[in-house]
Amino acid sequence: MSTLPYQLNCAVLTERRLHGRGQLRVGSGERVEPRTIVGTDSPPAEPLIINIAADLQETPAAAAQALTVKVGERVARGAVLARAKTAKSVREVRAPESGVLVAYDQTSGLATLLPSSSQVELRATVSGTVRDVVPGQSVTIETRGAYVAGVWGAGGDAYGVVRLATRSRSETVAFEQLDNRFTYSILVTGGTVTAETLARCEELEVRAVIAGGVAPAELGRYLGFEAGVQVLPEALLTLRSVRKDPGQALLIMLLGGFDATEIDEAAWQVLAACEGREGSITSSNWPEPPRLVVQLPTSEVVDAVPLQQAVLGAGATVLILGGPNAQTAATVVDGAVRRISLPSGVAAEAMQVRTDSGKQLDIPVHNLRVIQNP
């Protein structure tokens, strides 16, 4: 048997991988902080989704007529993609990056821009010590402290002080309750969040929001989708690129999933223990699940009181959160913990699960979430 992916006193391993032709800059044993540059990378370009209709305040059909660029055309950063004129003003939508306009959807009003490939800095995203380096491939960082894994997240990476906005795991914060106490923080709220709450967080420059859930309709409304447009959760994985300024996107991390109404009790215990501590969230490693990592003093890690956590036992129905089998339901085979080697060579605790198709897999424990215990 093993604990769920919420732990307070543990060693957390974070792997930062190169996705293209890049170079690593750190060595084993080095101390790093979230913004430490551990390497440079030239990853494949990720499409950017731009809500043309919402930005122009037009219907998707009208926004299509306002496009100044044809699909397939290359544009420079800052170039006008669409322009709408009224009697009193002119509204424009500009390209956030140089690239090619590859699509425009007349149903939703969304345009897809494929950026030109460029070199980017690979940051640690967490505080800790470099434990392992695989030249040309990855860096593994060990953090002594706590972590909470989510089931969905978007918005890139964020760093800030963990602040609880509610007193219980099922209580929903109202946007009127939020003030500048939460500026630059990782805000935690029980229950669900609304479009108004997310907009208020963005206004206050909150760096990330952790919640039990959010209705897809509310998230779509926050993003500016026209009322009635159906927004699938899968499409919302591009949340960070839907915002006008992707670099300043509000990171959102869900612990229960869409339409969930509360946060798991074990996760809430960990979050409460991390109140006032600096934490880091990474949601840009999809299909791996997003997770909050908080470094704690060694004395607190050693002396921490064990949490009363749910367990993974034989016969439990689980959801695989990351890797090539992400979002696949499975059943725990025998509940035994095995030691496996990750692609980087780092050892990890894993459990054997069986998918509905009968395939047996060894999955790291931190990539499993219980759906139902036997």
Q: What is the mean pLDDT of residues 362-374?
A: 71
Q: What is the mean pLDDT of residues 316-328?
A: 74
pLDDT at residue 243 tops 60: no
- What would the mean pLDDT of 125-140 be, rounded to a whole number? 90
Each residue's pLDDT tens digit, 267-310 = 898 899 899 999 999 876 655 678 899 988 764 543 333 333 34
Residue 256: the pLDDT is: 82
Three-state SS at 217? helix
The answer to whether residue 53 scores a pLDDT higher than 80 is yes
Decide: 209 and 193 in contact? Cβ < 8 Å.
yes
**Cα–Cα distance, 275 to 99 (Å, whole number):** 42
Which stretch of DSSP H or E encloses residue 3? strand 2-3
Give yes or no for residue 29 having a pLDDT over 70: yes
For residues 346-367, average pLDDT: 80
Q: Residue 147 in 3-state DSSP?
A: strand
What's the pLDDT score for residue 220?
78
From the number of C-beta atoms within 10 Å of its C-beta (0-12, 13-18, 19+), residue 198 rates as: buried
> How large is the average pLDDT for residues 122-140?
90
Residue 347 has a pLDDT of 55
For residue 292, give Cα distances in angstroms to 160, 167, 317, 322: 11, 19, 24, 15
Tell me, rounded to whole angstroms, the distance of Cα 328 from its chain centroid.
18
Pairing of strands 31-32, 6-17: unpaired
Which residue matches tokens 């978007």? Answer: 154
Mean predicted lDDT score pLDDT of the chain: 81
Task: Report the SS3 class of residue 138.
Answer: strand
With a cut of 80, say whether residue 19 has pLDDT above it: no
pLDDT confidence of residue 306: 35
Q: What is the mean pLDDT of residues 243-267?
A: 73
Which of residues 173 and 248 earns the better pLDDT score? 173
pLDDT at 218: 85
Cα–Cα distance for residue pair 90/13, rounded to 1 Å: 50
Phi, psi of 220, rounded to the nearest 5 degrees: -65, -40
Does position 242 have pLDDT exceeding 70, yes or no? no
How many residues does this entry show for the chain? 374
pLDDT of 11 higher than 90: no
Judge residue 341's burial from the number of C-beta atoms within 10 Å of its C-beta, 0-12 exposed, 13-18 middle, 19 or more buried: exposed
Are the C-beta atoms of 161 and 184 separated by less than 8 Å? yes
Give the tens place of pLDDT for each residue, 150-209.
887 777 788 899 999 998 899 989 888 999 999 999 999 999 999 999 999 989 999 999
Cα–Cα distance, 219 to 211 (Å, whole number): 13
Close Cβ partners of 366 (under 8 Å, ≥ 6 residues apart): 5, 147, 149, 291, 321, 348
More confident residue, 139 or 299: 139
Q: Is the peptide bond before 287 cis (omega within 30 degrees of 0)?
A: yes
**Do residues 7 and 317 touch, judged by C-beta distance below 8 A?**
no
